Amino acid sequence: MRRTTLKQRVASGAVVVSCGLLAGLALAPPAAAARYGVSAPLESAVRMSDGTTLAADVYHPTDARTGRPASGRFPVILSMTPYGKRSSVTTGSSGAGLGGDGYYPYLIEHGYLNVVVDVRGTGASGGSFGLFDARERRDGVELAGWAARLPHSTGRVGMAGCSYLGLNQIFTAGAAGRGSPVRAIAPCAAGIDLYRDLAFSGGIPNVEFAATWLALRGTMVVSDPGDAAGPRGPVSRGERFAGLDAGLYTEVSLGGARAFDSRFWRERAPATYLARVVRNRVPALLLSGWFDVYQRGVVLDYATLQNAYAAMHRASGRPALLGPMAAAVRPTGRYQAVIGPWFHNSTGYGQRVQDLLLRWFDRWLRGVRNGVDRTSRPLHAFELRGGRWIDAGAYPLPPARAHRLWLGGGRTGTAPASLNDGSLAARRAHTGATDAIAWTNATSPCNRNSDQWNTGLGAYVTGVAGLPGSPCWTDDSSSQAGALTYTSAQMHRAMTLAGPSGVSLQVRTTSRDAEIAVSMEDVGPDGSSYPLTGGALLGSNRTLDVRRSWRGPGGGLILPYHPYTRAARRDLVPGRWARLDVEVLPTFARIGPGHRLRVTVATGATHLQPSVVQLGGLAGGRYEVDRAGSYVQLPLADPHALATSPVAW
């Protein structure tokens, strides 16, 4: 990281946003000169308490002149991957000379041991894959203990990695106990709730991510050349994975237990373990992006960790663990979040991440007083369309006030392809005004959802190759055809949309269920429609958990929380009005003078596909939206009230 002028930050930020990804990575030069070389991987077989052997690669610092193992003792960076410890994802996806997701030569060169382990049932490790089950969580604790006892280890262990590797850091740190050698984690691209963040949206299956996950499974099936299972290992493993997948997707399709927020998902929700991470005194650095598949979860992780720390230290107010941060909560630098203009696959890319990790682990594993934790504003977020980073403490951001805009009539002339071209206004519409839309389960694929939910693979490839990004990332106008749109008047002054939003619709249907997909856009003076964020809800999942829902200043609902359990499910009654509160994922974006805010209501999204059981309640449905009873609740802040960061994160 380095300090920059405001002019440099704005210029570099504009490039990042226009490309969607990687242009700002050169802003963080190396923090210190490398002192060591990097050894070849030394493979080890690690025996777990149940007798299963896991395969680990250990990388050592070497003498830069002789190439021999360096003398001294070093902290350990541990990563647990299901994608193959020597795959290109693990060893080469972070950029030239920077390793990948799990292998960190930059850290090794600065005096760290690096251990990369194949998760149970993947790569060269034995046992059966359990997708973050209790046995895998126990493996993390035992592996940390083993790594702490390695020759030349100081006994202090940190964990790093993205996505799957980020999630299992939270599980391990939560299960490790106060006496564990795990002293710091840096979960990258990891959320708070696999059911809500990833597998489903509004209770509707996320089929695009499911397809991406199946493709990733290919790297989990193929064993390393030294696999002790022999030639039949990959075949039998593939059969096991196919059985696991078939069981899960059949259950979801037919409305079984895992189609709902059941015990299976709760046991795998980081939310269940975050307070334990704090009780175990493990600091955490969270990294994510506003276009990540975990867009929803990272800010909730941050707030939960801060609330847990405040509760443990008996801060006044005793905040609700899974609620918004209370005004009395004093943020701690032990729990920080960096959220940039990145898709999932690019969050861990480049030199900037290596420098962040080095500073973080130097502080907590070496005890270096480098000031990384000396901050009262540990939330570092990039302002989309504003071209700057801001530093904040509480979340939601205190300067953001909840504004209610009501759905109104049209035509405004701003969305000619939409069904209604309606308006958004501060005043409520006249009673009896409605807009109609038929269920189609379809929308234009030209929107950011298409890339966001395949983990941003296209964005990653084009960014690394230096190619221009897709125009669909910055203009989703085509997705408004056949949808209902509601567009505000032009902004007289800039405002920043800062946090989660709620869209509350009064709906009457001809069917016993409804599929609602909402998106928010920044409409420019030229008519382009920049996608900001979105959300979805299946009408039968409309039950609201008031205790877990978030309300902004003034009492407006900004994060409606739905249980998504079988017991909470309620069919709609055809012909009867019902309120559908849609959770819109958090974002942080500047809406400039002369721009407009738009809410688009559709009956389908590119990444979502209702299950067979759900389709039965949706087929043939026609919906009416009562404008007089429908509104959007927005947390809006004056950009000048937000602290511009002196650091290009």
pLDDT at 591 > cutoff 70: yes
Query: Looking at 393-476, which runs of residues are DSSP E strands?
Result: 401-408, 422-425, 434-438
pLDDT tens string 503-534:
999 999 999 999 999 999 999 999 999 999 99
pLDDT at 60 > cutoff 90: yes
Range in 320-329, 545-554, 626-635 with the lowest mean pLDDT: 320-329
Tell the burial category of 71 from Cβ atoms under 10 Å away from its Cβ (0-12, 13-18, 19+).
Answer: exposed
Give dist(CA 477, CA 456) in Å, integer. 20
Predicted pLDDT at 19: 33
pLDDT at 242 > cutoff 80: no
pLDDT at 244 > cutoff 90: no
pLDDT at 454 > cutoff 50: yes
Predicted pLDDT at 271: 96
Question: Model confidence at 235, in pLDDT bands (50, 70, 90)?
Answer: low
pLDDT at 135 > cutoff 80: yes
Predicted pLDDT at 221: 67
pLDDT at 317 > cutoff 70: no
What residues contact 132, with CB distance under 8 A and at least 6 apart? Answer: 167, 168, 171, 267, 268
Range in 212-216, 347-351, 492-496 with the lowest mean pLDDT: 212-216
In percent, how much of the chain has pLDDT > 70? 91
What residues contact 403, with CB distance under 8 A and at least 6 apart? Answer: 426, 556, 633, 634, 635, 636
**For residue 387, what are its two tokens?**
């071209």
Question: Model confidence at 28, in pLDDT bands (50, 70, 90)?
Answer: very low
CATH class of this structure's domain 401-644: mainly beta
Question: Model confidence at 226, in pLDDT bands (50, 70, 90)?
Answer: very low
pLDDT tens string 545-590:
999 999 987 678 999 999 999 999 999 999 999 999 999 999 999 9
Q: Would you give the DSSP letter of residue 25?
A: G
Predicted pLDDT at 465: 79
Stronger pLDDT, 614 or 96, i.e. the higher one: 614
Predicted pLDDT at 6: 30
- What's the rounded mean pLDDT across residues 394-398? 93
In degrees, rounded to 5, the angle at the alpha carbon of residue 374 between the alpha carbons of residues 369 and 375 is: 160
- Integer CA distances (angstroms), 518 to 232, 394, 414, 505, in order: 48, 27, 18, 11
Give dist(CA 148, CA 469) in Å, integer. 44
SS3 (DSSP) at 633: strand
pLDDT tens string 187-199:
999 999 999 999 9
Q: Would you give the DSSP letter of residue 337?
A: E
pLDDT at 229 > cutoff 80: no
- Integer CA distances (angstroms), 186 to 109, 379, 470, 528, in order: 19, 14, 30, 37
Question: pTM to 2 decimals?
Answer: 0.92
Strand order across the beta sheet in which 643-644 lies:
42-47, 53-59, 113-118, 74-81, 153-162, 182-188, 284-291, 335-343, 379-383, 388-392, 643-644
pLDDT at 312 > cutoff 50: yes
Question: Model confidence at 373, in pLDDT bands (50, 70, 90)?
Answer: very high
pLDDT at 230 > cutoff 70: no
pLDDT at 5 > cutoff 80: no
**Where does the chain hold its CATH 3.40.50.1820 domain(s)?**
31-376
**Where does the chain hold its CATH 2.60.120.260 domain(s)?**
401-644
pLDDT tens string 292-301:
999 999 999 9
Stronger pLDDT, 553 or 323, i.e. the higher one: 323
Closest C-alpha among 407, 431, 386 to residue 599: 407
Give dist(CA 51, CA 129) in Å, integer. 15
pLDDT tens string 147-169:
999 999 999 999 999 999 999 99
CATH topology of domain 31-376: Rossmann fold (3.40.50)
Looking at the DSSP bridge assignments, the partners of residue 617 are none
Give dist(CA 29, CA 354) in Å, integer. 10
Give dist(CA 324, CA 98) in Å, integer. 37
Predicted pLDDT at 4: 35
Question: Model confidence at 243, in pLDDT bands (50, 70, 90)?
Answer: confident
Give dist(CA 256, CA 240) in Å, integer. 21
pLDDT at 2 > cutoff 80: no
Question: Model confidence at 23, in pLDDT bands (50, 70, 90)?
Answer: very low
Q: Would you give the DSSP letter of residue 23?
A: G
